[in-house]
Amino acid sequence: MFRTIRGDITKVTDVDAIVNAANTSLLGGGGVDGAIHRAAGPKLLEECRTLHGCETGKAKITGAYELPCSYVIHTPGPIWQGGHKKERELLASCYQSCLELAVQHGARRIAFPSISTGVYHFPVEEAAGIAVRTAKRFVQEHPGELELIEWVLFDDHTWKVYEKALQG
Ligand code: AR6
C-alpha cells in the first residue's frame, strides 16, 4: 500500500497518476515540475494553460501525454517561511487534495515527489511526517479506494528521511 523508492518520478511505470510539485501558475518551472513537463511534452503545458492556475494547498488534474501513466496531478506546495504561515496545514492539504482527485478519477495507484522540500525549502523531516500521516489517514477514511501510494525521492538523504517516516 505504501512505499518509498529512490529515483526519477517521470520514469515510474506502475502508477495511474503522478503528482507534480508545481507553482500556482501551473505553467512549469524547474525541479520536478520541469522534469515532468519535459517528459510529458508540450501538450501538457497547453492543457495547463486552460486551468488558470491553482491555489497553494489545492490540486488540479490533467492528462499525462508522453508520460507512462494516465494523469498528472499538479499541486503548488507552500513556500517555507519559518513555519508561521500555515505551511504545515497547506502541505497536508496538498496531499489530501491530490488523493481526493485521484479517487475521483479512479486512479488507484499514485506516486508523489517530496512536495515543497526543494526550492520551496520546507524542512524534509517535517514534510515527510506530514506526507505519511496525511496519506495514512486518507486511506483509513477511504478504505478500498487506493492500491498504492508511493514516494519517489530523487536524492539519497530525502529517500532515507521518507523511509524512516514510513517505518517509524
Ligand atoms: N523526480 C522526483 N523528484 C524530483 C525530480 C524528479 N525528476 N526532480 C527533482 N526532484 P522542487 P518544490 C525532487 O524544487 O520545493 C519548481 O520550479 C527534488 O530533489 O522540484 O515543491 C516549481 O515550478 C526535491 O526533493 O519542488 C515551483 O516553482 C523535490 O523533488 C517550485 O519548483 C521537490 O523539489 C516548487 O518547489
Q: What is the pLDDT of residues 81-140, one digit of tens each?
A: 999 999 999 999 999 999 999 999 999 999 999 999 999 999 999 999 999 999 999 999
Average pLDDT over residues 60-67: 98
Distance CA 99, CA 78 (A): 17
Confidence of residue 168 (pLDDT cuts 50, 70, 90): confident
Q: Which H, E and C letters describe 78-123, residue by residue?
A: CCCCCCCCCHHHHHHHHHHHHHHHHHHCCCCEEEECCCCCCCCCCC
Q: The pTM is what?
A: 0.99
Confidence of residue 35 (pLDDT cuts 50, 70, 90): very high
Looking at ligand 1, which residue's alpha carbon is closest to its atom 27?
23
Torsion over CA: 9, 110, 153, 54 (sign): positive
Residue 121 CA: which ligand 1 atom is closest?
A: 15
Tell me whether residue 27 is exposed, middle or buried, using C-beta atoms within 10 angstroms of its C-beta: 0 to 12, 13 to 18, 19 or more.
middle
Question: Where are the domains positioned within the chain?
Answer: 2-167
pLDDT at 18 over 90: yes
Alpha-carbon Rg for the chain, nearest whole angstrom, is 14
pLDDT at 22 over 90: yes
Residue 124 CA: which ligand 1 atom is closest?
A: 25
Vertex 150: Cα angle to 42 and 120 (nearest 5):
60
Q: How far is the centre of ligand 1, averaged over its atoms, from the C-alpha of 119 (Å)?
A: 7
Please state, for a pLDDT cut of 90, what percent of the chain lies above it.
Answer: 99
Q: Spell out which residues line ligand 1, taking CB within 6 angstroms.
A: 8-10, 21-23, 29-33, 35, 77, 113-120, 152, 154-155, 158
Looking at ligand 1, which residue's alpha carbon is closest to its atom 19?
154
Q: How far is the centre of ligand 1, averaged over its atoms, from the C-alpha of 141 (Å)?
A: 29
Looking at residue 43, what is its pLDDT?
98
Hey, which of 119, 157, 158 would you mutate to test ligand 1's pocket, going by the most ligand atoms within 8 Å of its Cβ?
119
CATH topology for 2-167?
Leucine Aminopeptidase, subunit E; domain 1 (3.40.220)
Looking at ligand 1, which residue's alpha carbon is closest to its atom 11?
118
